[in-house]
Structure 1
Amino acid sequence: MIFINIVLIIIIIILLFQKMYSKREIKNITKQLKYINEGKIDNKVTIRLINKEIEELTKNINKSIDIRKQCEEREFKLKKHLKRTVADMSHDLRTPLTSIKGYIQFLKLDDLKDSERKEYISIAEERVGALEILINDFYELSLIDSMDFKIELKRLNITKILKECILSRYNDFKYRDLEPNIDLCKDYLYIVADEKLIKRVISNLLHNTIKYAKDSCFISLKREDDKVTFKISNNAENITLKDVEHIFDRFYMADKTRSGKGTGLGLSIAKNLTKKMKGSIDARLNGDVLEISLTFKAMDI
């Protein structure tokens, strides 16, 4: 009987010590959490007591800390990206507006010749057109990002659509003295996409090539297994691997001074639209040749 009482007393003492240390450990965890939340320390919660329940609690607390840090990092990057986006938009809008304002001031001059007046009006109209393109691109991008953006997917003859898009750009190719090397599959190829949107994507890719090609470009449309791939490539000057890595980023332009015409939105819009239609788009650099590939799942006739 005495032995049993002694054992019970020992068990009670052990439990009391365990409770005391557990309470102390909980206070320690609470203190660490307070410092973490106040930003005084930037690490995870640590424990000294070996206790399965407290270890599990600490594990989940540290998991929550990791998730919060990830959210804070994403928020920081988002704010930084938003700040850069607003700055780029402001720059792109300010440039044509400043130009238009300047030519309007010229038009107010009393001693202006008729020939000069016509020239200034023509230039101002050109700048207004560029400004309209900018605003339309900004608006279109905001629509693509919205939850209400709707697409109408259906089976399309991509061969026919591509031919129409290339023909519609004939004068642009001719103006740049570019004669594209075209290699299209002899058979009609079909994909599932939104007709209006796929035409916009192809148009943006053609526009990019016409604008930046040095003196040659290549266009192909092929079926490989269950995929249909449209490739457009051109030789380009002063383009780097870094440029290619960011080529689909919003407002990204290889011309860091942003002195060229454009917004850096064309390829970003193309990528977003392609993603909406369940396709893929990528870019690679082979020497001085930029190649962009647009891929969709092939549909049988």
Structure 2
Amino acid sequence: MIYIVISLIVILIFFIAHLQYNKKQINRIRNELMNINKEKADRKVTVCLLDKNIESLAEEINRTIDGRRESEANRVKFERELRQTIANMSHDLRTPLTSIIGYLQFLKLDDINEEEKLEYLNIAEQRARVLEGLLNDFYELSLIDSIDFQIKCEKVNISRLIEEILLGKYSDFVNRNLIPEVEMCSSMVNILAEEKSLKRVIENLLSNVIKYAKNSVKISLRVEKKEAVFTVSNNVINLTKEDVENIFDRFYMADKTRSGNGTGVGLAVAKALVNKMDGDVSAEFEEEVLSISCRFKLIS
């Protein structure tokens, strides 16, 4: 009987000691977590290896800390990009607006003739249209990025759409003395997409080529496994690795003075639309040739 009592006492002592140990470890983790939150320290709680439950608790807390760090990093990145976007927008809005105001002031002068007035009005109208285009681009991009923006994908013949858009932009290529090399794997390549959005993607990529190609353009459509790959390539000058890495960022322009005809939004819109259609878009730069490829799911 005495052995049973002694055994029970030993078990009770062990149980109490275990409870005290667990309580101590939980308090330690709580204090560590309080210090981390108070100091906003970049560290994790110490993992205890003697109790699996406490160890599991500490690991879950550390995963929560990792999630918070990632969320904070994303917030900082978003705020930085937002500030840059606002700065770029302010610059882009101010440039044509200042020009419009300047030419309107010229119209108030007494020593200008009717011919000069008409010229100033035409220039002011051109600048106003640039300003309108910029505002429309930004509005469209913000609309596409919103959660409520929905795309209804269906069967679309991308081959036919590319051919139609190329014909529509024929005069634009001619005006730039560009003769695109076109390679189409088939006249019947069907993908899962929304025709209106796909048309905008193709138009934006071709417009980018027409604006910035040096003298060579290649347009291709090929099939790789279960994907259709639409690629637009052109040779360029003064393009850097940084430019290619940021080429799909909203309002990013390789023209550091931001003095070109573009607003830097066209490729961002194209990427956003491709992603909405469950596709993928990428850019490569090799031997002064920029290639932008869009991948879409094939359907029969």
Which residue identity is paired with 1:288?
Answer: E
CA contact (8 A) 1:21 1:49 kept: no
Whole-Å separation in 1 of the counterparts to 2:192 and 2:216: 31
Q: RMSD over aligned Cα, in angstroms?
A: 2.1
1:290 maps to 290
Distance 1:152 1:56, change over 3 A: closer
Distance 1:12 1:195, change over 3 A: closer
CA deviation digits over 1:193-241, x for unaligned, max 9?
2221111111101100000000111122233443322221111001122
CA contact (8 A) 1:280 1:294 kept: yes
Whole-Å separation in 2 of the counterparts to 1:40 and 1:78: 20
Which residue identity is paired with 2:95?
Answer: T
Distance 1:30 1:189, change over 3 A: closer
Q: How do 1:65-214 residues align onto structure 2 when only pairs under 5 Å count?
A: 65-185=65-185, 187-214=187-214
Residue identity (%): 51
* More divergent stretch after superposition (225-234 vs 63-72): 225-234
Could you list the runs of 5+ residues in structure 1 that have no partner in the other structure?
Answer: none
C-alpha displacement at 1:19, in angstroms? 3.3
Which residue identity is paired with 2:19?
Answer: K
2:299 maps to 299
Aligned partner of residue 264 in structure 2, secondary structure: coil
Distance 1:16 1:240, change over 3 A: same
2:276 maps to 276
- Deviating above 6 A after TM superposition, structure 1's stretches of 4 or more consecutive aligned residues are none
C-alpha displacement at 1:121, in angstroms? 1.0
Which residue identity is paired with 1:19?
Answer: L
Distance 1:255 1:60, change over 3 A: same
CA contact (8 A) 2:160 2:187 kept: no
CA deviation digits over 1:126-168, x for unaligned, max 9?
1011011101111111221223323333322322221211111
Aligned partner of residue 222 in structure 1, secondary structure: strand
C-alpha displacement at 1:40, in angstroms? 5.4
Which residue identity is paired with 2:92?
Answer: D
Distance 1:123 1:61, change over 3 A: same
Whole-Å separation in 2 of the counterparts to 1:159 and 1:14: 77
Which residue identity is paired with 2:292?
Answer: I
C-alpha displacement at 1:47, in angstroms? 5.6
Whole-Å separation in 1 of the counterparts to 2:192 and 2:142: 24
